[in-house]
Chain A
Amino acid sequence: MPNRKDDVYGDHISGKFNDELNELKTQFLNMGGMVESQVEQAIQSLVDSDGQLAEKVRLGDKLVDKMEMDLDEEAILVIARRQPTARDLRLVISVIKMVADLERVGDEAKKIAKMAIKLTEEGQAPRGYVEIRHIGTHVLSMLHDALDAFARLDSEQALRIMKEDKQVDEEYQAAARALLTFMMEDTRNITRCMMVMWVLRALERIGDHACNIAEHVIFMAKGEDIRHSPMEEAERVVGR
Chain B
Amino acid sequence: MNTMNSTVTSNNETTEAPAVPVQDERPAETIIQEGVTVGSPYADDPKFKLRDVEVFYGESRAIKKISLDIARNEVIAFIGPSGCGKSTFLRCLNRMNDSIDICSVKGELMLDDQNIYDPKRDVVELRARVGMVFQKPNPFPKSIYDNVAYGPRIHGLANRKSDLDDIVEDSLRKAGLWNEVKDRLDATATGMSGGQQQRLCIARAIAVSPEVILMDEPCSALDPIATAKVEELIAEMSESYTIVIVTHSMQQAARVSNRTAYFHLGHLVEVNETDKVFTSPDHELTESYITGRFG
| A/B touching: CB–CB < 8 A | yes
Chain A residue numbers with a CB within 8 Å of B292 are 12-14, 17
Nearest CB of chain A from residue B274's CB, rounded to whole Å: 11
Nearest CB of chain A from residue B214's CB, rounded to whole Å: 25
Interface 1/0s, chain B 73-100, versus A by CB < 8 A? 0000000000000000000000000000
Within 8 Å of chain B (Cβ to Cβ): is A224? yes
Chain B residue numbers with a CB within 8 Å of A87 are 280, 287, 291
- A223 lies within 8 A of B279 (CB): yes
Within 8 Å of chain A (Cβ to Cβ): is B15? yes
The answer to whether A223 and B280 touch (CB under 8 A), given A12-B292, A84-B291, is yes
> In the bound complex, how far is the Cα of B137 from the Cα of A132, in angstroms?
71
Nearest CB of chain A from residue B39's CB, rounded to whole Å: 13
The answer to whether A1 and B290 touch (CB under 8 A), given A221-B3, A239-B15, is no
For residues 58 through 108 of chain A, which have their beta carbon under 8 Å from a beta carbon of chain B?
A: 83-90
Instruction: Please pick, from B10, B21, B295, the residue contacting A153 in the complex, using a CB distance under 8 A.
Output: B21
Chain B residue numbers with a CB within 8 Å of A17 are 292
Within 8 Å of chain B (Cβ to Cβ): is A154? yes
Chain A residue numbers with a CB within 8 Å of B3 are 8, 153-155, 221
> In the bound complex, how far is the Cα of B1 from the Cα of A151, in angstroms?
16
Nearest CB of chain B from residue A151's CB, rounded to whole Å: 11
> In the bound complex, how far is the Cα of B28 from the Cα of A86, in angstroms?
18
- A8 lies within 8 A of B23 (CB): yes
Within 8 Å of chain B (Cβ to Cβ): is A25? no
Instruction: Please pick, from A2, A13, A83, A222, the residue contacting B280 in the complex, using a CB distance under 8 A.
Output: A222
Interface 1/0s, chain B 250-268, versus A by CB < 8 A? 1100100000000000000
Within 8 Å of chain A (Cβ to Cβ): is B25? yes
Nearest CB of chain B from residue A82's CB, rounded to whole Å: 8
Nearest CB of chain B from residue A213's CB, rounded to whole Å: 16
Chain B residue numbers with a CB within 8 Å of A83 are 251
- B280 lies within 8 A of A224 (CB): yes
> In the bound complex, how far is the Cα of B61 from the Cα of A141, in angstroms?
56
Q: Which residue of B lies closest to A82 (CB)?
A: B292
Q: Which residue of B lies closest to A5 (CB)?
A: B20
Chain B residue numbers with a CB within 8 Å of A1 are 23-24, 28, 288, 293-294
> In the bound complex, how far is the Cα of B10 from the Cα of A84, in angstroms?
25
Within 8 Å of chain A (Cβ to Cβ): is B17? yes
Within 8 Å of chain A (Cβ to Cβ): is B134? no
Within 8 Å of chain A (Cβ to Cβ): is B140? no
Nearest CB of chain B from residue A216's CB, rounded to whole Å: 13
Instruction: Please pick, from B4, B20, B21, B281, the residue contacting A86 in the complex, using a CB distance under 8 A.
Output: B281
> In the bound complex, how far is the Cα of B279 from the Cα of A84, in angstroms?
9
For residues 1 through 52 of chain B, which have their beta carbon under 8 Å from a beta carbon of chain A?
A: 1, 3-4, 7, 10, 15, 17, 20-21, 23-25, 28
- B288 lies within 8 A of A85 (CB): no
- A89 lies within 8 A of B279 (CB): yes
- B1 lies within 8 A of A155 (CB): yes
Within 8 Å of chain B (Cβ to Cβ): is A228? no
Within 8 Å of chain B (Cβ to Cβ): is A181? no
- B17 lies within 8 A of A154 (CB): yes
Within 8 Å of chain B (Cβ to Cβ): is A240? yes
Nearest CB of chain A from residue B231's CB, rounded to whole Å: 15
Within 8 Å of chain A (Cβ to Cβ): is B178? no
Q: Which residue of B lies closest to A88 (CB)?
A: B291
For residues 1 through 36 of chain A, which have their beta carbon under 8 Å from a beta carbon of chain B?
A: 1-3, 5, 8, 10-14, 17
Q: Which residues of B are interface residues toward A (Cβ below 8 A)?
A: 1, 3-4, 7, 10, 15, 17, 20-21, 23-25, 28, 250-251, 254, 277-281, 286-288, 290-295
Q: A8-B23, A12-B292, A153-B3 are in contact. List 19 more A-B contacts (CB 8 A).
A: A1-B23, A1-B24, A1-B28, A3-B23, A12-B291, A13-B294, A85-B254, A85-B290, A85-B291, A86-B278, A86-B280, A86-B281, A87-B280, A87-B287, A90-B279, A154-B3, A154-B21, A223-B279, A239-B15
Would you list 26 pairs from A and B whose C-beta atoms are within 8 A, ordered by A residue? Answer: A1-B23, A1-B28, A1-B288, A1-B293, A5-B20, A8-B21, A10-B288, A13-B292, A13-B293, A13-B295, A85-B278, A86-B280, A86-B286, A86-B290, A86-B291, A87-B291, A88-B291, A90-B279, A153-B21, A154-B21, A155-B1, A155-B3, A156-B15, A223-B279, A223-B281, A224-B280
